[in-house]
């Protein structure tokens, strides 16, 4: 029995049987096997080289499995604070860092996400997190000790250059002539930094209105009255009108009536308290320009005539559709009568444009046709066709206005026939000539009412109409 025990202690261990001391020895060098054991096994069992190699590989595999199992059981104890293993093999798989592993690289913690999922680049932080105010860093290259304090952000609009002023102001004034809203002009001017050139807005607006219509000048006077005291002071308004007086020699080249119109502007501005009452007194005996004297004299005369009136509201007349219909009809009759005398088509066109009633041009067409029916001879007919042809080509009278004017005559033709017995025949001839000259359409020509012919029997029948 004792012999068997000695044999067991001296013989090599069976597969998978290792003592604790052998395990520690194999842990330091898992890929080597004790040469003494192999030699003893060769002597006792007389292994062949193939069997020896197979046995060595089997021992290496078992050592690796045992080391892997022992390292998993003692993970928390095998790493120190510096991150180095206390007794592990650096060449083992557990000693290598796996890139795809989400656990802590230092072997600390439970492997949960960093900062509770609120960290990382481009995130707002955890819910409910309140950040404290960061104090400026003195090591920051942009740090300025003297300028530290509350940061104020302001929108800075650069001042408009004198050369760009006209390009910016002209569209604003032209749009104002279309809509007539002074509040919108004030809002647009507040968005511009006119600076020291603020007064030039008034001079540019007046210069543009001198080249326009009477309604434009009325709108400009209202605009200056609304801007006075809000955007522009009386001294700035006086400076603007002084500039216009100096520019009169140039303005008169495009607008011959500029001195008289400017005098009306000055009178209206003084009456509206846009200019000071002493504006005219400042120029007495100090003006050398002839055109400027004409403008100032015109303003003084208007103020003398309207001394008891607070405002010179009618200095530009009542423009557009605000005038009564009877007044517009009378103006169009005078326009046509002057044309029949002078034959000047351009003057008639100018007078019609000054009325500023494009929606009422059908009245002019009506008056033209009625004058042709009431006239004697063919002179008036040819002159009126020439006038309508000119208005048609320039677009002053549209298709709708032309049709409405002719249809009005068609509807009233039976009544006109009572005063003009041959009205139907004259109307047919005039309509054919208008269509031949391209003034009216084919449809309008066909709409002309035909004359009803009544045939009578002989006198012996008593003048009974033949059925």
CA 78 to chain centre: 71
Q: By the 8 A CB rule, do 55 and 42 touch? A: no
Distance CA 390, CA 396 (A): 9
Cα–Cα distance between 60 and 280 in angstroms, integer? 120
Across the strands, what pairs with 465?
Answer: 456
Q: Exposed, middle or buried: residue 407 (CB in 10 Å: 0-12, 13-18, 19+)?
A: middle
CB neighbour list of residue 83: distance below 8 Å, 6 or more residues apart: 105, 106, 107
What Å distances lie between residue 347 and 319, 321, 342, 370, CA to CA? 19, 21, 9, 21
Contact present, 295 and 263 (Cβ < 8 Å):
yes
Q: Could you identify the residue written with the tokens 């048609």?
A: 392
- Taking the C-alpha atoms of residue 269 and residue 267, their distance in angstroms, rounded to an integer, is 5
Q: What pLDDT score does 452 carry?
A: 54
| CB distance 27 to 62 below 8 Å | no
Does residue 179 contact residue 188 with C-beta atoms inside 8 Å? Answer: no
Quick check: 424 and 453 in contact, CB under 8 A?
no
How far apart (Å, rounded) are the C-alpha atoms in residues 251 and 237?
Answer: 19
Q: For residue 6, what pLDDT is reported?
A: 44
Q: What pLDDT sits at residue 271? A: 87
Rounded to the nearest 10 degrees, how much is the dihedral formed by the CA atoms of 89, 93, 96, 101?
Answer: -140
Q: Is 107 exposed, middle or buried (0-12, 13-18, 19+ CB in 10 A)?
A: middle
Parse the chain into domains and list their residue ranges. 12-78, 162-305, 320-446
DSSP state of 93: G
Looking at residue 238, its pLDDT comes to 92
CB 439, CB 388: distance < 8 Å? yes
Alpha-carbon gap, residue 241 to 221, rounded angstroms: 13
Count the alpha carbons within 13 Å of 42 in the hemisphere toward its beta carbon.
13
Give the domain 162-305 fold.
1.25.40
- The values of phi and psi at residue 232, to 5°, are -130, 140
9 Cβ contact partners less than 8 Å away, ≥ 6 residues apart: none
From first to last of the 467 residues of the chain, give the pLDDT tens digit. Answer: 444 434 444 444 444 444 434 444 444 444 444 444 555 455 445 678 888 888 888 888 888 888 887 776 665 454 444 444 444 455 555 555 555 555 555 656 665 656 566 666 666 767 777 777 777 677 777 777 666 666 666 777 777 877 788 888 899 999 998 888 889 998 988 888 887 888 889 999 999 999 888 888 888 998 999 998 888 889 999 999 999 999 999 999 988 899 999 999 999 999 888 998 889 988 888 888 999 999 999 998 888 875 544 456 667 765 665 667 888 889 899 999 999 999 999 999 988 888 878 888 999 999 999 999 998 888 889 999 999 999 999 888 999 999 999 999 999 998 988 888 888 889 999 999 999 988 999 999 999 987 755 444 455 544 454 44
Contact between 435 and 442 (Cβ < 8 Å): yes
Helix (H, G, I), strand (E, B) or coil at 317: coil
How does DSSP assign 403-415, residue by residue?
Answer: HHHHHHHHHHHHH
Widest pairwise Cα distance in the chain: 182
Same topology for domains 162-305 and 320-446, yes or no?
A: yes
Residue identified by tokens 């002989």 is 458
**Cα angle 21, 27, 29; round to 5:** 115
CA angle, residues 227, 167, 161, in degrees to nearest 5? 85
Q: Is 109 left (phi over 0), alpha (psi -120 to 50) or beta?
A: left
For residues 210 and 177, the answer to whether their CB atoms sit within 8 Å is no
Distance CA 209, CA 205 (A): 6
Q: Are 64 and 30 in contact (CB under 8 A)?
A: yes
Q: Which listed CATH number (1.10.540.10, 1.25.40.180, 1.10.10.410, 1.10.10.10) goes with 320-446?
A: 1.25.40.180
């Amino acid at each position: 029995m004792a012999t068997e025990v000695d044999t067991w202690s001296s013989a090599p261990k069976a597969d998978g049987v290792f003592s604790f001391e052998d395990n520690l020895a194999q842990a330091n060098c898992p890929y080597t096997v004790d040469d003494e054991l192999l030699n003893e096994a060769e002597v006792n069992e007389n292994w062949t080289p193939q069997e020896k190699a197979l046995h060595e590989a089997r021992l290496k595999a078992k050592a690796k499995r045992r080391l892997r199992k022992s390292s998993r059981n003692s993970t928390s104890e095998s790493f120190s604070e510096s991150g180095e293993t206390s007794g592990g093999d650096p060449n083992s798989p557990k000693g290598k860092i796996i890139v795809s592993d989400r656990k802590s690289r230092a072997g600390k913690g439970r492997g949960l996400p960093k900062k509770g999922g609120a960290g990382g680049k481009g995130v707002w932080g955890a819910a409910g997190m309140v950040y404290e105010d960061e104090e400026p860093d003195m090591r920051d290259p942009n740090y300025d000790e003297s300028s530290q304090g509350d940061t104020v952000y302001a929108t800075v609009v650069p001042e408009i250059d004198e050369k760009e002023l006209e390009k910016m102001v002209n569209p604003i004034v032209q749009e104002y002539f279309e809509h007539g809203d002074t509040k919108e002009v004030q809002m647009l001017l507040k968005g511009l930094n006119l600076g020291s050139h603020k007064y030039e807005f008034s001079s540019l607006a007046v210069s543009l209105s001198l080249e326009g219509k009477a309604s434009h000048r009325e709108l400009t006077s209202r605009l200056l009255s609304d801007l006075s005291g809000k955007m522009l002071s009386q001294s700035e308004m006086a400076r603007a009108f002084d500039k216009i007086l100096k520019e009169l020699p140039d303005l008169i080249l495009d607008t011959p009536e500029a001195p008289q119109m400017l005098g009306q502007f000055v009178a209206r501005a003084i009456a509206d308290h846009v200019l000071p009452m002493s504006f005219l007194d400042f120029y007495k005996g100090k003006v050398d320009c002839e055109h400027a004297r004409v403008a100032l004299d015109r303003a003084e005369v208007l103020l003398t005539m309207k001394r008891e009136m607070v405002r010179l509201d009618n200095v530009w007349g009542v423009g557009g559709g605000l005038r009564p219909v009877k007044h517009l009809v009378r103006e169009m009759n005078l326009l046509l009568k002057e044309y029949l005398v002078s034959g000047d088509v351009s003057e008639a066109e100018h007078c019609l444009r000054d009325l500023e009633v494009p929606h009422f041009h059908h009245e002019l067409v009506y008056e033209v046709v009625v004058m042709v029916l009431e006239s004697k001879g063919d002179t008036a007919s040819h002159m009126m066709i020439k006038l309508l042809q000119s208005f048609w080509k320039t677009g002053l009278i549209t298709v709708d206005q032309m049709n409405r004017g002719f249809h009005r005559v068609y509807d009233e033709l039976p009544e006109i026939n009572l005063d003009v017995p041959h009205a139907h025949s004259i109307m047919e001839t005039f309509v054919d000539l208008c269509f031949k000259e391209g003034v009216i359409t084919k449809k309008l020509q066909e709409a002309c009412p035909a004359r009803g012919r009544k045939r009578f029997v002989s006198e012996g029948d008593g003048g009974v109409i033949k059925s």
